[in-house]
Amino acid sequence: MKRRTITDITRVEGHGGISVDIKDGKILDIKVNVYEGPRLVEQLVVGKSPRDVLNIVPRICGICSLSHRYAALLALEKALGVKVPKATEMARNLMLIGEILQSHVLHLYFLALPDFLGYGSSIDLIDNHEDLIMLSLGLKSFGYRMNQVLSGRMVHGENPVLGGFGLFPERSALLELKEKSQEFIAMVQSTIELFASFEFPVTYDKEITFMCLNPTDGEYAYLGDSVVVSDGTEWGIDDYKEYVKEYVVPYSSAKRAKYKGKPFTVGALARINLLGERLTGEAGRYYKSLYSNNWKANPLFTNLAQAIEVLHCLESVPKLVDRIIKLKEPGIVEAELDSGASVGAVEAPRGTLYHYYEIENGLVRSCDVVTPTAQNLDDIEKSLKIAGEQLISLDSMDKLESTLEMITRAYDPCISCSAHLIRINYTDKDS
């Protein structure tokens, strides 16, 4: 038996590898191992105050730290009876949009694009595709500027606190975001067209099970109290533990999740498949012209889905800003309770993110975090197997390797966060 290990999938965030077992020219097994060392974040927050939680959990992942912060805020606020004003809520949504934008841009231009154009890194693109590089740098800076305005800094901004913002974003800064967001629209449109022109090396015919939050207001948005599934079911986020079942595999430090005993996918592709009809503006136009049944089966469409979401995010900025600045500047709402338990969920760039906290006398008793990448890992393995079987006949190991990497990357796995989704069972019950 020959065993190939593609150690350290490069150009994803964190540490992961794919191992492929091949026997007699046949793929026996493909596994995604997550090597990342343990941090036991959910355990670190036990015995801490809600404020401490908000300092700690964003550090699970640098790229989606605000999603973690937001999910934790929603859970903690619900548990402690805090209801924030509309302006606070909308500013937080704007913050989430900034993060999705910035994360997608990193994935599309820095991690995925070199694959499609055949380069080793995005920096290598500089000679022949300077415009793309400059666009990506500009867009990314804009995403970080959004993070800065709303959360206080580029990464791990502490400004969003329980009940509101330490310092509510200034009107002038919000208006600056509104104006600046429009500069990129045309260029992002051409990026969508570029991604639409790429040929995929693998074909898929089996439909994927998708899942995402169902925004209550009927818009294409990243928040909701219930989850829609492509099989037609819908359930409230409070029940997430029943539907998103976690389990451990012995070859990886990350937990996995199954829905009704089967793998499923969350993230941009899931959202576009489930909510795409709701897209408006230019993003809506691109959705209508590009969407096809293939999007239901082939994970490589994630790239296009993300590109459309980038456009959608840019188009959403002015609308949100206009709504925020019409409202009175909100203060910080103090917590009424010091005990309680609740779930908070947001659509992070890579998909649905759940945070659960149980607070007793002002301190955390237990915590559970389920990250999008954890939910995707099984499907990543599944689609790698399908691809592997198609490609093994080519008998080119290099092609096999690079394609498997490319598919893994399409899921945009944030492996550094997937390592932290281990559920903690100790809840101090026996102590």
Partner 1 sequence: MLNKKRIGIYSFTGCSGEQLVILECGKYLLKLYEVVDIVGFPMAQSKNTIMDLDIALLEGSITTESQLAELKEIRDSAKTLVALGTCACYGGIQSMKLGEGDWKKRFQEVYGADDKLYNKMKPMESKPCNEFVTIDYYIPGCPMDKGQFLHTISHIINDTPPHLYPFPVCTECKWKENDCLLNRGELCLGPLTRGGCGAVCPSHNIPCVGCWGPAEVTNMPSEYKLLLEKGYSQIEIFRNFRKFGGTPMVEKLKNMMEKLR
Q: In the complex, which residues of this chain contact partner 1 (CB under 8 A)?
A: 8, 10-15, 35-44, 47-49, 52, 55-56, 59-63, 65, 106, 110-111, 114, 120-124, 126, 133, 137, 140-141, 144, 152-159, 161, 165-167, 248, 250-251, 253, 416-417, 422, 424-426
In this structure, how many other beta carbons lie within 10 angstroms of the beta carbon of residue 140? 18
- Taking the CA atoms of residue 270, residue 275, residue 277 and residue 279 in that order, the dihedral angle to the nearest 10 degrees is -100
Nearest to 285 by CA among 294, 276, 293: 276
Distances (CA, A) of 303 to 141, 321, 372: 20, 27, 16
Question: Which of 47, 81 has the CB closer to partner 1?
Answer: 47
Q: What are phi and psi for residue 211, nearest 5 degrees?
A: -150, 140
The one-character DSSP state at 110 is I
Best CA proximity match to 254, nearest among 262, 246, 243, 264: 246
Shortest reach from residue 87's CB to partner 1, in Å? 17
Longest dimension (CA), the chain: 69
Bridge partners (DSSP) of residue 205 are: none
Find the length of the chain: 431
**Minimum distance of partner 1 from residue 344's CB (angstroms):** 20
In the complex, minimum distance from the CB of residue 83 to partner 1, in angstroms, rounded to a whole number: 21
The smaller minimum CB distance to partner 1, of residues 56 and 275, is found at 56
- Whole-angstrom distance between the N-terminal and C-terminal Cα of the chain? 49
Which CB sits closer to partner 1, 157 or 344? 157
Alpha helices in 276-367 (DSSP H): 281-290, 302-326
Nearer residue to partner 1 within complex by CB, 41 or 213: 41
Residue number with CB closer to partner 1 (106 or 212): 106
Nearer to partner 1, 229 or 419 (CB): 419
Nearer to partner 1, 168 or 287 (CB): 168
Question: Closest distance between partner 1 and the C-beta of residue 156, in Å?
Answer: 6
CB of 40 to partner 1, least distance (A): 6
- Give least dist CB 359 to partner 1, A: 15
Least distance to partner 1, CB of residue 171, Å: 16
CB of 106 closer than 8 Å to CB of 140: yes
